[in-house]
Every structure is written in structure tokens, then in C-alpha cells.
Structure 1
Amino acid sequence: MSQSTRRTRPEMIGEAIKEYIARHGLGPGDRLPQESHLVEALDASKGTIREALRGLAAQGLIQTRTGPGGGAFICEVSDDRAMELLSNYFFFRPPTIHDIYEVRKQLQPVMVASLEGQLDESAFERLEAMLTHYDHPPASQEEEQAQRLKELEFHLVLVDYCPNPLLALNCRFMIRLLMSLTTCRRIYAQPYPELRQRGYHYQRRLLEALRRNAMDEAREIMAEHMQAAQALMEAREATLDKAFFRAGAGDDETPSREYLALRDYSAHPVMDAVDTTAPPTG
């Protein structure tokens, strides 16, 4: 075993504690044995046990409480915590928009197909409520950004009903990446009415198919949605990159029309008209 993969004594003790939790069927809220018991059972020093518990706490698996009735208690790792840990993995090598949508194109249609029989009326009410946030042109650039995030949250609501926890985790992570990726934030910070229009159009069709329990149709709609979203996002990424580099050129070079249009919109946003009955193009 290489030096980089060799586990420390506290890490080994941490794994032993996790095995103890699994073997005894313990769950969130249950209390671990007292420190003295762990020291004796695991043949480890107090310092090693405490370091192991700190490691498990950092992973979000346990929580320590002080005072009367205190100790180490098992926690369920929250979605936010799981997303944070996964994001740290990609901190120095963030995926591109292309990377994310190549995965989403594979996973999202499968996730939608898994929803058969999972959506009750309260689920449809949640999804309908999300659509109301972006079924109209925005009154400002700030609202347009908020609408884009709500459009992504629509997908998060869908994932909440996915019965496959591994599929749900991967879909949720892709969506969270789109919400936080620097490149995506640049795109959301600029006017892009077509992105909202297309998103609303596909999601309305998807919701209608799901209500009819037409799962094959729903899967096809989601596949089309992901393909169209990828094309729009990559096209806007290329436009913004082009505008950025031209704007940064010397004084003897005129900024691109794209850059000027985006700059002028930021100063004087123009509302767009929406035809939600028109089929998507591209």
C-alpha cells in the first residue's frame, strides 16, 4: 500500500466505529457507546478515539454534545453536506458545462422514467408552484437570474421523488453544479430570455406527460430538454467568452457587437414576449 493510501490509526478506528453502527442497526439519533467503552473495545487511546470521532463528525456522520446526557450521536448526512463533500473533490478540477450535460443527458431521462407511480397530487402541486416563478417575462435582470435558479429547482423537486437513492444523488449533484459553477453564473448574470422560454416549454410538456402517466413520452421530453439546454448553454458560453476577450483587447480594436449588446442590456433591460405554444427550435 502506498504512503498516500495508507490509513492512519484514527481512520482505522473510525472505520471500526462505522462497522459497529452498521452491525448493531443504529440510526440517526442513536447514541454511540461511552468513550471509555470505545477505548476498551477498540484497544485505542483516548486521544485516538477522540480524533476518530472528530473525523466522523467532519464527515457528517456523528454529532457530539456536551453536558448532562451528552456524548456522540449518529446523524444522517444531509443532502447539503453530501453536495459540499462532493464539490470539494472537484474544487481544483471543476467540470465544464459540456461535462455536466453529457452526464445529465444520460441520467435525467432515466430518473424521470423511475418516477412511475411515485408522484401524488401534492408532488404535482409542488411542481406546478415552481413553474409559476418563470412562466412570465422577468421585470429585471435580478428576477431573470432568480427564474433560472427556480427552473433548476424544478428538477430538484423531481429528484426528491426518485426511488433510486444513487440515481437521485447523481442527478442532484449535477443540478447543484449548474447552480454554483462560475461559468454558469456568468451566463445567468446576462440576459438570455430563450433559456427561460425553452426551459418552461419543456417542463410544461413534461408535467403534462407525467400527469397522464405517459412515462415513455416523459422520458423523451426530458431527453430533448437536456439536449436543447446543453446547446443553449454552450452557445452562450462561447458568446460570452468571445465578448470577454474582445472587450479586453487594445484600444485600437472595437468591442464585439455581442459585448456591446450585453452591456447595453445591463443598463437598460428589455422585456421579452413569450409564446409558450410555439415548439422549440434547435
Structure 2
Amino acid sequence: MNNSLGCTCLLCCVRSVGPSPELVRQREAKWINIIGQWNRILLRKSSTVKLQCQKGIPASLRAKCWPLLCGATGRMRQNTILYETLDSQPGMQSWVDIIERDLDRQFPFHEMFLSKDGHGQRGLFRVLKAYTQFQPEEGYCQAQGPVAAVLLMNMPAEEAFWCLVQISEQFLPGYYSPLLVILFDAAILTWVLKKTCPAAHKHLQQHGVEPLMFATDWLMCLFTRHLPFNTLLRVWDLFFCYGVRVLLQVAVVLVRRVLGRTEQRKQCQGQMETLERLRGVKEQVQDEDDAFIAEVNLTNTTKTLKTKI
């Protein structure tokens, strides 16, 4: 059985445009049925759920599905007034100052975050401030800013807060703490690239380019700064279903798209040129890029990770 996220049949229906309205309605109906049977089906993340996540969660249902998939809904139900309590408190001034400086850096051209007094920046401040009070020993990490912003684009502030908690505690534990577990996963990416993209890996080694130099921001920000928005949402559909290995699979596909062909590697004659291409990786992905998602689904890192760990 293939351990990758998807199957080869996905490639048969790859398109670079969004699904038709009829297909969207069909997927909405399937997800509504799944949500209605949450305790029996979704809690186990059955094959039905995984297949639907591969196909993409309808935009109209992400506000419901993401919190369910990551466990935020359960945490919120167990702590019904906690977010309200944290939100009503002023917060530690040192964290407040840092968060306020970061607010207008998150998606500055998105209408939701244009104004400093708009509901987007106010909501973002509330969510991030609440997190520093929920985890005072960890506080605020700048990489959490764009992650929280994407959550707020898709759901109310309280749900966004609990999704951020689950991402930080359960999906990416240590990523946003002083321990920086991200360093370990960046090292793992080196091993994964060696096994899955040997030519690209060799090129990186020859020019002294370590994944820490380009992939740290990819992983910590969940690709919020590096993928077109609709493709990013599809990646997050997979991430909330499968966890951190999706991030490694996306990283592999991005490296492959930048350095996978001989002529591409020849155009990168040194470290600077290689890093420039990797940091501008967004140009390699279209918006609503089904081909990219299919490639991620077919990228098998499971066996490689088991061997390494």
C-alpha cells in the first residue's frame, strides 16, 4: 500500500483552475455528512476524511472543519470561557509592544488587514495577546503572526485562537519556543531531500546551502509567505489532517520545482543564486494549483522519515 498522501489517480483530474460550482456543492454535501458523524468518522481521521482533505475542503466549511480536524473544537468546548477571560485581560506589556509592531506586516495588501484600526488587525492582536497569556513562558514568536492571520481569514477569533494553540502545542510542538525544535525538522529535511531528490540535494551540498537557510521560514510560517493563497489553503487542508509531514512533503516539492531539472541547476552557479531561487519559490506555483497539490499528495516521505528516526 502506498504511504503517500494520495494515489496516482489524482493526476488524472489535475487542473490549474478551481473546481466547478457543481463539484463544490458535491464536496460541501460530503463534508456536511462527515461533520454530522464526527465522533464516529472524523475523530479517527478515516480514509474517507483523508480523501476529502486531499480533494480540498470547501471554503464555506473550513471554519468548521479546520478546528474539528486539529482538535481545537474539543479544546474550546472544554474551556468555554477561557478565551473570553484572556481577551479581557491587558496582557504583558513587553509582548503587547512586540505584537503591535508586527500587526501591519501580516498580509498588508489584504483588505482585512489594511487598517490599523480595522477588525483584521484588532482581531489579530487579540488572538496573539491571548496566546501570550495562555503560554506566558513561551510568549509570542513572530512566525505565529501570519499563521494567526490566515486562521482569522477563515474563522472567528476564538476558533482561531484555539487552532493556534493546537498548531503550537500538538502539531508543531517547540517550533515557537526558545528550544526551536524547527532546527531538528530542518535537519530531517536534509535527509528527506537526499532520498527523494538526490540531484537537487547534491547541488545544495556542493554550494553550501543548508535547508536551515531557506526552509526555516517555510516551516515556521506554514508557507504563508511562500505559496499563492488558494494553494496555501489546500496545503493547510492536508496539514490539519496529516500533520507536520505535509510540511516536509511541500518543501520537497518546492525544492524539486526550483532545482529538479538539470537546466535549472545550471542557472544557479553558486550559493547566492541558489538561495535567491529558493526564496522566490512562489513563482513556481500557480494559484489554485491542483498539479502542485497532486505532487504533494504523491510525495512519499513516510518510509524515509521512519528510517531516519
Q: TM-score, normalised by structure 2?
A: 0.24
Q: TM-score, normalised by structure 1?
A: 0.26
Task: Compare the two structures and name the one with the higher helix fraction.
Answer: 2
